[in-house]
Every structure is written in structure tokens, then in C-alpha cells.
């Protein structure tokens, strides 16, 4: 009766809940969007209560759709937007400030100052990350400095810091001072505060960013019971919360990339390419990040990651900002209505550029426009841009490995677009594999939760939930690929803040 898993995928624009069986079948699914707050240009915030209501609503609806009652749920897995930073009162749950979202650039000046002071190399060695406003540490520092009394309350332990996984566990498990305050190693690895090799909070990093350790959660493995449901109106008490991972790490696991060298790309708000590097930290020479893949028991898997901040968000901008389309589903047919982009390139640096450039002051650019340019060309250029951003990451990974990648597994909403996947294969020169179910992030959380609750004996057993369905193979030659990449590099050069 408890052979079902509830996966909660708390994303940037909405929360998704899936009820899955141990064979990997989705029995019920629901998504609830929530508000995005933009108090200033470059600032992005979420309200913690709005996130929680979206999670509760999605869980209720998914369970109704699955026709499953709470007593049939044997484990809960959580995956989440990662670097988004929240500070709340341990007793009341009241947020000290709205959550600062991973896309937010308000601490760019702070990061630039730390770089100018010569801290970048040491930060990279300790954390595997770069000094960029993307990560949680400087966001937390901003809250502690800007919210009256927050620093003193954090130092006394009254305020709790966490990425969204921490907050959801705390809410699910009682929402009071005795509820668990934890984060898993993958989310901790994105804060600029964790020592990558020791997998513990780094004293030097906390001192550098002026973060009191009393407000930090306990770091736990990605699989294993960290708490159980308590006092909820929509779930019974006692369901194990037994899987946690940041969204990209969960997707790597959910794609069954269990061996070193295996790679996945998730196309969501941004696009994220992650490679399993095994039990050793691999230090990138080409602008990628060293990070955690996951931890199960004492077994630790590390990863290399490249992040493009804007992918699906570029399509949203076409819809909401420019009014060129009514829905994202229109893009494939519209883009196929033209042979190519007509020489138009779009660099979607709407929140700066991530890897391998790390240029927070880059700005979006469209170039190559003529009187013959139509909205179809702009849509085609947008799909091209997503594939080209990911190609930059794939090529950087190949450079780090000193051999080109040959295969990449894909997931996320935009991975359903056949044209985009073919463009990705052609531009990156790589075979693309797509699973039958694109909810890979949630599936990874379910797999980890199943292991943590004893529903699976190990990762290989959990991997039976994964089913590959489609392949896209390269259809263009090397010179044509290089011609397109040269145009892209020129456009990126124009968009860079240093150009």
C-alpha cells in the first residue's frame, strides 16, 4: 500500500507535484504557478508563503489525479530551484525578506569587489564556484545587511537560512522550532559557503562573506530520511521525507547518468549541462563549475556543470515581453516555416551570461536584422540561441576532458521541441537522447527518496524508472557547423560588457 512516491519539484515559476510508482510511471501530476516579483531592474524575488501555497495546491491536485490517499505514499522526494535564498524565523516561519531568486543580480557589485580584492582563486579552490551573484552566499549577506535586526537574529539562531529545499522540509515536518533545518550536499554546494571536498560549511568562506554559521542548516546526504510529515492538512503524519537534491543534480540522477563521463542537459528557465565525474573533484580550465552530483550514504559523486541563465525564459520573453507568440507550443511550427534564421542571431543575456563567460553585465542582443526579417526568423533565432548556449557548454566540457562529447541526454519542457533537439544535435555535433517522460528532475527526486526510504536497494535498482525513447543524430557537416558557430561567437562578443 506504500509503493508510491510523492515528488515535489519546486521550480522558478511554479511548483510541480508528481505521484509515481516504483516502475517510474506517473500516476498523477499537477503544477501551480506563483508570482514573480521584480522590485528593481535586475532584481527577482519570490514570496515564501506563495511558494508554499503552490506546493500544497500541486500536491493536493496530483494526489486527486492519481486517486491515491496519503497512506499509500511511502516516501517524499524534494527537488528545487537551487541558489534562491530564503531567511525565515525558526518558530513562526515568517520570512525576514522575500526570497532572492537565483537570477537576481543585486550583488554583482559585491562580487566584483571581492574579485578585485583577489579572492576568486581561493573561493574557486574551496567551493568549486566563481564569485558571481548567481550563488546564495552574497544574497544572504545582502539580507543580513539590509534587513533591520537580521544579522543579530541570525547569529543567535533565531533566523534560519536555506535554499527552498530547506524551507519545504521545515514546513512539511512541522514548521516549528523543533522541525529539521537541513539541506542536502547538492544544494549546499551552490551557496559559496560549503567546502566542496569536505562537504561541510567552510569557516573561511563564512568569514569572507560575513555569514554567521548559527543560521546555516545541517548538511545531509541526498538520500536518507531527514524527517517525516507532521501537522499538515493535506498529508497524514509520518510519511518519510527521504530524498533531496537541487534540480540539476536530481535531473542528472533521474537520467541515470550513473557512470563518470555521462552527461545531461535540462532545458527549463535556464539550460544546465551536467556531467558525472565520479568520486573525484574535477577542476575546470574552461569556465565550468565543480559541484556535487549526489551523495548516497558515504558514496559521493561529483560533477562538472555549465549554466546558461536564460533558455525557456527567452521563449517566455517572446510571448510576454514582445507579444510575438501566444504560447511556447507555437515556436516549433513557426520556426519550421523558415529555412533558417535569415542571418539573425539572438544572444539572450537577459540576466547576464553564465558559463563559460561569467559576465553579469552582458546584455541581450539581436543582430543581423534586415527588411526581410519576420517574426518566424526571430523565433527561429531564439531556438538557435538556446542550442548555441548549450553548445558552448558542451564544447567547454569536451575541452576539459580533452576529448569531444558524443552523447547527451535531455529533459525539461523545451526538450519536447523536436526542432530544438535537432538543432542541438547539429550545432553541438553530438547525439541527443530523450526519455519517454521529460519530468526527469522530479523522477530523480523520486529515485533518491525511494532509495532513502528503502523502496529501492541502490541507484541501479532505482534506474529502472528511466526509459529512453528518442534519438537525434547530427545531420550537418563540420564546415556548416563552424559557420554557424562563428556567427554566434561574433554576436556574443558584441553582447559582452567588455566588448
| pLDDT surpasses 80 at 499 | no
Task: Give residue for cell 515528488.
Answer: 7
Mean pLDDT of 376-405: 93
| pLDDT surpasses 60 at 147 | yes
Mean pLDDT of 365-385: 96
Annotate the chain with three-state secondary structure. CCCEEEEEEECCCEEEEEEEECCCCEEEEEEEECCCECCCCCCCEECHHHHHHHHHHHHHHHHHHHCCCHHHEEEEEEEECCCCEEEEECCCCCECCCEECCCCCCCHHHHHHHHHCCCHHHHHHHHCCCCCCCCHHHHHHHHHHHCCCHHHHHHCCCEEEECHHHHHHHHHCCCCCCCCCEEEHHHHCCCCCEECCCCEECHHHHHHCCCCHHHCCEEECCEEEEEECCCCCCCCCCCEEEEEEEHHHHHHHHCCCCCCCCEEEEECCCEEEEEEEECCCCCCCCCCEEEEEEEECCEEEEEEEEEECCCHHHHHHHHHCCCCCCCCCHHHHHHHCCCCCCCCEEECCECEECCCCCECCCCCEEECCCCCCCHHHHHHHHHHHHHHHHHHHHHHHHHHHCCCCCEEEEECHHHHCHHHHHHHHHHHCCEEEEECCCCHHHHHHHHHHHHHCCCCCCHHHHHHHCCEEEEECCCCCHHHHHHHHHHHHHHHHHHCCCC
What pLDDT, on a 0 to 100 scale, did the predictor assign at position 145?
Answer: 96
What pLDDT, on a 0 to 100 scale, did the predictor assign at position 392?
Answer: 94
Q: How far apart are CA 421 and CA 189, in angstroms?
A: 30
Other C-beta atoms lying within 10 Å of the C-beta of residue 89: 14
Q: How far apart are CA 425 and CA 474, in angstroms?
A: 5
Q: Taking the domains of the chain in order of start, what are their residue ranges?
A: 4-248
Structure confidence by residue, pLDDT tens digits, 319-331: 999 999 998 889 9
Superfamily of domain 4-248: ATPase, nucleotide binding domain (3.30.420.40)
- The pLDDT > 70 percentage for the chain reads 99
For 80, the grid coordinates are 528545487
- Per-residue pLDDT band for 412 (boundaries 50, 70, 90) equals confident
Mean pLDDT of 122-147: 95
Expressed in angstroms, the distance from the first to the final Cα of the chain is 61
Q: How far apart are CA 394 and CA 399, in angstroms?
A: 9
Residue 205 to residues 130, 151, 189, 347, 400, Cα–Cα distance (Å): 12, 17, 12, 33, 26
- Per-residue pLDDT band for 184 (boundaries 50, 70, 90) equals very high
What pLDDT, on a 0 to 100 scale, did the predictor assign at position 86?
Answer: 97
Among 178-192, 244-258, 398-412, where is mean pLDDT lowest?
A: 398-412
Quick one: CA dihedral 140, 143, 146, 151, positive or negative? negative
* Residues 6+ positions from 344 with CB-CB distance below 8 Å: 366, 367, 368, 369, 373, 377, 378, 380, 381
Apex 357 CA angle, 355 and 359, nearest 5: 110
Q: How far is CA 339 from the centre of its chain?
A: 33
What pLDDT, on a 0 to 100 scale, did the predictor assign at position 2?
Answer: 64
What pLDDT, on a 0 to 100 scale, did the predictor assign at position 285?
Answer: 87
Per DSSP bridges, beta strands 271-278 and 431-435 are unpaired
Q: How far apart are CA 132 and CA 328, in angstroms?
A: 30
Q: How far apart are CA 17 and CA 5, in angstroms?
A: 10
pTM for the model: 0.88
Mean pLDDT of 179-190: 96
Structure confidence by residue, pLDDT tens digits, 68-121: 888 899 999 999 999 999 999 998 999 999 999 998 999 999 999 999 999 999
Contacts 24+ apart (CB under 8 A), 471-477: 471/431, 471/432, 471/433, 471/434, 472/418, 472/421, 472/422, 472/424, 472/425, 472/431, 472/432, 472/434, 473/425, 473/431, 474/425, 474/426, 474/429, 474/430, 474/431, 475/422, 475/425, 475/426, 476/426
Task: Give residue for cell 553582447.
Answer: 495
Q: How far apart are CA 201 and CA 214, in angstroms?
A: 11
Structure confidence by residue, pLDDT tens digits, 192-244: 999 999 999 999 999 999 999 999 999 999 999 999 999 999 999 999 999 99
Higher pLDDT, 488 or 440: 488
On average, the pLDDT of the chain sits at: 93
Among 76-90, 142-156, 351-365, 481-495, where is mean pLDDT lowest?
A: 351-365
Per DSSP bridges, beta strands 182-184 and 218-220 are parallel
| pLDDT surpasses 90 at 369 | yes
For 2, the grid coordinates are 506504500
What pLDDT, on a 0 to 100 scale, did the predictor assign at position 354?
Answer: 85
Q: How far is CA 397 from the centre of its chain?
A: 18
Amino acid at each position: 500500500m506504500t509503493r508510491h512516491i510523492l515528488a515535489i519539484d519546486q521550480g522558478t515559476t511554479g511548483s510541480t507535484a508528481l505521484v509515481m510508482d516504483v516502475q517510474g510511471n506517473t500516476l498523477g501530476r499537477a503544477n501551480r504557478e506563483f508570482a514573480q516579483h521584480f522590485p528593481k531592474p535586475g532584481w527577482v524575488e519570490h514570496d515564501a508563503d506563495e511558494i508554499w501555497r503552490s506546493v500544497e495546491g500541486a500536491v493536493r491536485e496530483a494526489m486527486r489525479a492519481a486517486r491515491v490517499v496519503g497512506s499509500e505514499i511511502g516516501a517524499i522526494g524534494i527537488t528545487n530551484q537551487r541558489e534562491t535564498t530564503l531567511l525565515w524565523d525558526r518558530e513562526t516561519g515568517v520570512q525576514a525578506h522575500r526570497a532572492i531568486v537565483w537570477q537576481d543580480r543585486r550583488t554583482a557589485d559585491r562580487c566584483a569587489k571581492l574579485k578585485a580584492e583577489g579572492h576568486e582563486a581561493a573561493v574557486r579552490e574551496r567551493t568549486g564556484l566563481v564569485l558571481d551573484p548567481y550563488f546564495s552566499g552574497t544574497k544572504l549577506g545582502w539580507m543580513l545587511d539590509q534587513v533591520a535586526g537580521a544579522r543579530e537574529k541570525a547569529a543567535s539562531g533565531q533566523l534560519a537560512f536555506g535554499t527552498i529545499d530547506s524551507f519545504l522540509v521545515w514546513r512539511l515536518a512541522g514548521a516549528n522550532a523543533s522541525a529539521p533545518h537541513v539541506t542536502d550536499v547538492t544544494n549546499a554546494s551552490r551557496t559559496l559557503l560549503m567546502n566542496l571536498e569536505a562537504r561541510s560549511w567552510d569557516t573561511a568562506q563564512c568569514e569572507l562573506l560575513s555569514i554567521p554559521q548559527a543560521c546555516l542548516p545541517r548538511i545531509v546526504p541526498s538520500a536518507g530520511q531527514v524527517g517525516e510529515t507532521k501537522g499538515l492538512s493535506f498529508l497524514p503524519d509520518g510519511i518519510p521525507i527521504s530524498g533531496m537534491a537541487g534540480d540539476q543534480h536530481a535531473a542528472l540522477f533521474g537520467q541515470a547518468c550513473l557512470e563518470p563521463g555521462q552527461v545531461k542537459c535540462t532545458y527549463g528557465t535556464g539550460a544546465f549541462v551536467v556531467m558525472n565525474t565520479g568520486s573525484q573533484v574535477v577542476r575546470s580550465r574552461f569556465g565550468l563549475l565543480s559541484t556535487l552530483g549526489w551523495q548516497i550514504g558515504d558514496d559521493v559523486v561529483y560533477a562538472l556543470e555549465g549554466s546558461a541563465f536564460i533558455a525557456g525564459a527567452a521563449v517566455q520573453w517572446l510571448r510576454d515581453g514582445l507579444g510575438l507568440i501566444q504560447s511556447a507550443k507555437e515556436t516549433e511550427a513557426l520556426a519550421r516555416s523558415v529555412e533558417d534564421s535569415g542571418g539573425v542571431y539572438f544572444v539572450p543575456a537577459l540576466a547576464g551570461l553564465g558559463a563559460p563567460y561569467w559576465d553579469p553585465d552582458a546584455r541581450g542582443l539581436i543582430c543581423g536584422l534586415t527588411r526581410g526579417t519576420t517574426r518566424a526568423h526571430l523565433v527561429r533565432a531564439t531556438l538557435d540561441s538556446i542550442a548555441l548556449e548549450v553548445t558552448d557548454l558542451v564544447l567547454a566540457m569536451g575541452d576539459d576532458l580533452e576529448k569531444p562529447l558524443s552523447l547527451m541526454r535531455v529533459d525539461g519542457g523545451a526538450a519536447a521541441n523536436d526542432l530544438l533537439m535537432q538543432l542541438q544535435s547539429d550545432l553541438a555535433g553530438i547525439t541527443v537522447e530523450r526519455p519517454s517522460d521529460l519530468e526527469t528532475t522530479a523522477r530523480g527526486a523520486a529515485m533518491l527518496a525511494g532509495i532513502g526510504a528503502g523502496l529501492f536497494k541502490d541507484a541501479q535498482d532505482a534506474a529502472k524508472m528511466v526509459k529512453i525513447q528518442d534519438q537525434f543524430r547530427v545531420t550537418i557537416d563540420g564546415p556548416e557547423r563552424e559557420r554557424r558557430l562563428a556567427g554566434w561567437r561574433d554576436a556574443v562578443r558584441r553582447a559582452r560588457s567588455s566588448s
